[in-house]
Chain A
Amino acid sequence: MRKSRTLNLGTGSFVLLGFAALFFLTTQTTSRGLSFFGPAHYDLTAKFDNIGDLKVGAPVSMSGVEVGRVVKIDFDSNDYKAVVLLRLNERYNKIPTDSDASIYTQGLLGGKFIGLTAGGADTYLKDKDQIDFTQSAFVLENLIGQVLANFTKSKADALTPAAADPKATEKTK
C-alpha cells in the first residue's frame, strides 16, 4: 500500500508537470492568452483592390490600438477584388458605418496591417457588415516602377527637346 502511494504520487506529479508545461506553451508563448475560444467578437468584411502581402492574423488597429485581427482573405471573382474578413473585439463596437479601412505597413519593410479611421455617422457597424471605404496597400514595387518610368521618360524628353516642346519646333520654322 505504501509503495503504490508513492508510485501514484510520482505519476500524478509527473502528469501535472506535463500538463502545466503544455498550458505554459499554449498560453504564454503564443498570443492566445488565457481564453481558449477568444473574447466576444464580431466580424466585418472589407473589399480591397490590392492587399499587397497582407496575411491572415495581421492586426487591425484604430489610432494605433489593436482592436482585432484579419481572420480570412478571399478573392471575389465577380468584381476582381480581395475580400478581407476582420474579427473585431466586441468591446470596440462603436465604429461608425462610414469609417474607412486602409492597409499600412509596419516600419519600412515590415508586415502589413489594417488601420481603421472613424467616420462621422451616427450608426455603428454591426456583425457581417461591410466597410465601404477602403484604400489599397501601398506596394513598394509599383512605386519604384512608376519612379523608374517617369525617370526614363524625362530622360528621353531631355534628349529630344524638339519632340517634347512643340513651341520650340514652331520657332525654328
Chain B
Amino acid sequence: MFGELWESFTDALEGLGSVVHFLFRLIVNSPRVLLRFTLISQQIFNSGALSLVIIMLSGLFVGMVLGLQGFQLLQRFGSEEALGTAATIGLVKELGPVVTALLFAGRAGTALASELGLMRATDQISAMEMMAVDPIQRVVVPRFLGGVIAMPLLAAIFSVIGIYGAQLVGVQVMGVDSGSFWSQMRAAVDLSDVTEGIVKSLAFGVACSLIAVYQGYYSTPTAEGVGRATTRTVVTSAVVILFLDYLITAAFL
C-alpha cells in the first residue's frame, strides 16, 4: 500500500522532470525554427485562426452574461455606470485569459496531442528520424511556438468581443448611459490591468502548448494511447491553467 503510493509519487516526479527536459529541448531548438517561419505560420493558422469562431462566440456570451449580472448587482447600489469598469476589469484580467486558455486546450490542445500521437502511432516520427530529419525541429517546435503566439492574440480578441457583449446588454438593452460606460471604464482601468492579462495569456499559451505537444509526442503508439493522451492534455491543462492563474494574480497584487 505504502510502496504503491511512493511509486506513484516518484512516477509523478519523473513525469514532471521529463516535461521540464522537453521544454528545454523545445527552447534550445526554437531559434533555428524561427528562421523557417512558414512552418510556424501554418501552426498559427491551425491553432489560432481555426479557434477564432469558438473564441469569439464564447467571448460574446461571457460578456453578455457579465453585462446582465453586473447590471443586476450594480443597480441595487444605484451605480450601474460602473458596469463598464466591472466588465472590463473582469474580462481583461481574469475571464479573458482563463476561459480562452480552457477553450484553447479543448480546441487546439487536443488537436495537437492527437495529431502528434497519431504520427507516433503510425511511425511517422520514426520515419523522420530515419531520414535524419529532427522531428522535434520539424514537427514539435513549430506547433509549440504557433500555440504560444496564438494564445495571447486569442485572449485579446476574447476580451474585446466580451466588452462589446457587455456593452450590448448594458447600454443597448438595459439603458446604461453610453458615455459614462466608456468614460468610467477609461478612468478606472489601468495599463497594468491589461499587462496582467497579456502576461497571463502568454503563460497559459506556453503551458497549454507544452502539455499538448508533450502528451502527443510521448503517447503510447496505440489507438487507446492517443485517446488517453488527448484526455490527459485537457485535464492537465485545465488544472495547470487555474494554478498558474492564482500564482500570477498573487504576483501582480
Contact = CB atoms under 8 A, between A and B. Distances in A.
A106 B194 CA distance: 26
B69 interface: no
A18 B154 contact: yes
Interface string B140-157: 000000000110111011
Interface in A4-49: 4, 7-8, 10-11, 13-15, 17-19, 21-22, 24-26, 28-32
Contacts of A26: 191, 194
Which of B44, B149, B156 counts the most chain A CB atoms within 10 A?
Answer: B156
Given A13-B49, A15-B153, A21-B159, A31 B186 contact: yes
B114 interface: no
Interface string B92-136: 100000000000000000000000000000000000000000000
Nearest to A8: B41
Contact of A14 (B48, B92, B152, B187): B48
B52 interface: yes
Nearest to B49: A14
Contact of A29 (B52, B149, B153, B194): B194
Contacts of A10: 45, 49
B237 interface: no
A25 B159 contact: yes
Interface size, A (range) = 20 to 34
A6 to B, nearest CB: 9
Interface string B39-51: 0011011001100
A30 B41 contact: no
Interface string B163-195: 100000000000000000000011101110110
A22 B197 CA distance: 10
B198 interface: yes
Interface in A121-141: none
B198 A22 contact: yes
A28 B185 CA distance: 9
B219 interface: no
A25 B92 contact: yes
Given A14-B52, A15-B153, A32 B159 contact: no
A57 B45 CA distance: 40
Contacts of B194: 25-26, 29-30
B191 A32 contact: yes
B193 A17 contact: no
A21 B59 CA distance: 13
A17 to B, nearest CB: 6
A26 B92 CA distance: 10
Contacts of B156: 18, 21-22, 24-25
Given A14-B48, A32-B191, A25 B42 contact: no
Contact of B44 (A11, A19, A25, A32): A11
B153 A11 contact: no
Contacts of A32: 191
B215 interface: no
A71 to B, nearest CB: 13
Interface in B185-212: 185-187, 189-191, 193-194, 197-198
Contacts of A22: 152-153, 156, 198
Given A4-B38, A18-B154, A28-B186, 18 more contacts: A10-B49, A11-B44, A11-B48, A13-B49, A15-B44, A15-B153, A17-B52, A18-B150, A18-B153, A18-B156, A19-B153, A22-B198, A26-B194, A30-B186, A30-B191, A30-B194, A31-B186, A31-B189
25 contacts: A7-B42, A11-B41, A14-B44, A14-B153, A15-B48, A15-B149, A17-B52, A18-B156, A18-B157, A19-B153, A21-B153, A21-B159, A22-B152, A25-B159, A25-B197, A26-B191, A28-B186, A29-B185, A30-B186, A30-B189, A30-B190, A30-B191, A31-B186, A31-B189, A32-B191
The 5 closest A-B pairs by CB, nearest first: A18-B153, A21-B156, A14-B49, A11-B45, A21-B160
